[in-house]
Amino acid sequence: MAKCIRCGRQLPSISFKKICQWCQLHEAEQRGEVTDEVRQRVMPTPWVRRESTITLTQFLLGANVAVFLAMVLASGSIEFSNAIAIHFGANVGPYTLTGEWWRLFTYMFLHGGVFHILMNMWCLWSFGDLCESLYGRWTYAGIYFTTGIAGGLGSIIWSPGAFTVGASGALFGLTGALIASIYLGEFSVSAVSSTGILSSLIFWGAFSLIFGFITPGIDNSCHIGGLVSGLALGAVIAKFAPHEGHASRRILFFLVAALVLAGCAVALAHYYGVPLRLGRSPFHS
């Protein structure tokens, strides 16, 4: 759908104009051609968040920092051992597959050290706030946690014995969703803004993946799992539920995504010959 070249609002499906009615009236008022009787009504820009309460991005950031501080108090260090990571809920294949499936959720709030959390929280603040403004709080939450879990499963598929911690799987998921949605034109963002945002997202994603491949200790399989699932979710939402008013469709998509992830988890357990169960892993001493 065509968009206004001034503000990015969507134009009618059949329109030969490049500027929306709001911008036309605004420009006419700036030139003094509009009388007080036909005063322009105020319309918020489409990408400005309307909630005045605490944002989900702020909540997630605070939760990550709180968990990090708890790990510092428990270990007496700002760099954490595998034992501490396991205790707080790291995603480790043998533990996750043998009953502790909640690790696919908790690992997103853990970090290996101070540099790790600083980098991820910077990305969360940058991309999360944008994603929340464009998608709305609940769709943003659905994308974040769905792609984070997908990243955790991707890590187990590629390296079942690896220790995985960090919000980066979910952050790559946000990146993928934003790339797909902006490219497919879900958001009412001006062409100049969308091109700049899209370029930044693609550059950051490509750079981070390359950095992950050449740097030991980085779980790129988690990043790829988050990115691919984010691209898929963003594309589906953009094509079939582009507006926040399509809440029921979006809920359906997330339910389907949850079933797909559950199916992947069952298949993984079957592949490794592990009985499907929920509870404390026998790997605990």
Residues serving a catalytic function are: 168, 223
Compute the distance between CA of residue 4 and CA of residue 22 in angstroms, rounded to an integer. 10
Q: Dihedral, CA atoms, 193, 197, 202, 207, nearest 10 degrees?
A: 130
- Do the beta carbons of residue 177 and residue 170 sit within 8 Å? no
